[in-house]
Structure 1
Amino acid sequence: MVDDGDVRAMESPAMESPEGVAAALDGTGYLPDDGIATAAFLARRMRRPLLCEGEPGTGKTALAQALASALDLRLIRLQCHEGIDAAQALYDWDFPRQLLHLRTLEAASGGTLNAEEAESSLYTSRFLLARPLLRALQESPCVLLVDEIDRADDEFEAFLLEMLSEYAVSIPEFGVVEAPEPPLVVLTSNRTREVHDALKRRCLYHWLEHPGLEREVAILRRRLPGLDARLAEQVADAVQRMRRMELLKPPGVAEALDWAQALLALGTGDLDTEVAARTLGAVLKYREDADRARAAGIV
């Protein structure tokens, strides 16, 4: 059953335009650009999954989290990984509890257990372990985040495509589970491999860039209220310069925030060379990258 509050959230007038979506996301602390706000608005209005690709740290996962917060909906997250299969993502049966149930029935029957009735009693919602995809169907309206779909294999991607086409699944022992209304689906990809065209056709697509200098300064100051404008600009400028280098792991917004937070913890009011060198581990995660940044005179 759909909660009236959830329905009102999905129909909120404040979200009925790209500008409204931008304002709602801004209210959660996520600062979108026009492209992100428009893509999120269209995904919600057209009830289509939104596939977000981009470098790590560009705010793909944070977008789904912010949408859930802005819409006051539950966020259900499926973290993809190599070897993930339908059972891990969809459902499983609680075998230990089923076995205990059988033993209880057998003891209560005094040895006259009806095998057919016992078997039918095993496959009920009581013993069904709902994984993220099934939960999204059962608990919709919600925001379903399928994170790093590029880490999954072709077989799982095909399964996901089928589920997103119908927003329903058939469980042989249980029956069909169908969402009362489609969840708002956000898929993310770091593009470690290409997502298949069939899935891309099912989705709306948006490529997330790293924020420009002005927007990154605004993000830093929004997320870290104690950060003054000068230090925010110094951090953002240094991070922007690092991203233009050939690094193994260019820093994302999360690393910029970590760096700024480290500087605040040290009571630093100015990002000079000495302080930057001592805190570089907050923003760069490979020795080779740190060496390149030093050689380029960034720190």
Structure 2
Amino acid sequence: MDQLVTCVSGSENVLRRRDLPSICRLERVDDPLYTFYATQALAMRRASALILNSFEELKAPILFKLGSIFSKIYTIGPLHALSNVRIKDDNPSTLASAKCSHWQEDKRCITWLDSHPSKSVVFVSFGSLVALTCDQMLEFWHGLVNSGKPFLWVIRSDSIVGEDDPSTTLMELEERVKDKGLIVSWAPQEKVLAHSAVGAFLTHSGWNSTLESIYAGVPMICWPAIADQQVNSRCVSGLWRVGFDMKDSCHRSIVEKMVRDLMEDQREELMKSMEVLSKTAQQCVEEGGSSYFNLEKLIEDIKSIHLEKL
């Protein structure tokens, strides 16, 4: 599984077999799921343009390859940041994340963060879809506690699978946490990542979370589960070098080591890469930046298409 995949243009020396999404691990080429994805990929060639939630400097090799297929590519990310810049409103209730959240945010976590020193807290969230078994939850808990770092952990009401009464397990975890950290059902992620107390993000490597972390300048520990998360986590570690890839295992010893490495031993090295990438992401969405410009161009091109049809 560690063998390099050399047939993905733009990522020849980055991706390993274990970094490919599950769709690439099917046993039969005539599997209906594979057929669906292959059909959709071929259909993309009929599009007149691609609109991507990314920025040019982040994925230049891939964009170069895509440019040979699509005559127009609009990179307008990070979308959450570009949206906030366009709104030009400092009211937190207008943040992009606040308008698209399907879960009730627990705002007390911000007050809790206010009581902690700069870059001392590990933020843990596996997004809105990923679920864990009770055993996995306990491995993460032990690893976090053993690291000695305070943590803010988002555990949704449907985060635990394989239990007759997951609420009991959640209550036990909350009881165990006590002074070591804080568990909430959902958090205003954009605000949390921007908080001065947050020094690391233990994430499922969803694309939105990855971009939000890069924009905020918070290095990541990645535990991917599905879809694009496998590739994203590899890019975080092997390509951009702004975090660690923990795929395939969440044993408490690995969790503890990666938290300690990120918060202490290898922090300086990771932050050098992250500061450069974060600054680039912030510049992209400001007026005159590549994503800001591409959105303007996209709007004008849509207007032109409309006028041509009149």
TM-score range (shorter-chain normalised) is under 0.3
Structure number with larger C-alpha Rg: 1
TM-score (norm 2): 0.26
TM-score normalised according to structure 1 size = 0.27
